[in-house]
Amino acid sequence: MQTLRQTNELPGFTKRSESEYDCFGAGHSSTSISAALGMAVGRDQKGGDNHVVAIIGDGAMTAGQA
């Protein structure tokens, strides 16, 4: 974690250009619930049956999204 938020290292939030596993980009910490809801709606529209889980951290609690 020493490289977190350092130039050319780990970003502080999801960044699509940084990782093929980041399915969306975010600039703040309060996106887990809305992102999970969008993923669940997309899953349902495609007829999928996978689970969608939102991990809520302390930043979401103070930003009004949790």
What whole-number distance in Å separates Cα of residue 42 and Cα of residue 56?
20
Average pLDDT for consecutive 10-residue bins of the chain (66 residues)? 74 75 75 89 98 84 67
* 52, 39 Cβ separation under 8 angstroms: yes
Which residue is listed with tokens 């960044």?
15
Look at residue 37 and tell me if it is in a domain: yes
pLDDT score of 65: 62
Look at residue 53 and tell me if it is in a domain: yes
DSSP 3-state of 17: coil
pLDDT score of 64: 61
Look at residue 8 and tell me if it is in a domain: no
Phi then psi for residue 60, to 5 deg, are: -70, -30
What's the domain range around 47?
Answer: 31-61
Look at residue 41 and tell me if it is in a domain: yes
Total tally of structural domains belonging to the chain: 1
Radius of gyration of the chain (CA): 14
Q: Is the pTM of this model over 0.85?
A: no
Look at residue 20 and tell me if it is in a domain: no
pLDDT score of 42: 97
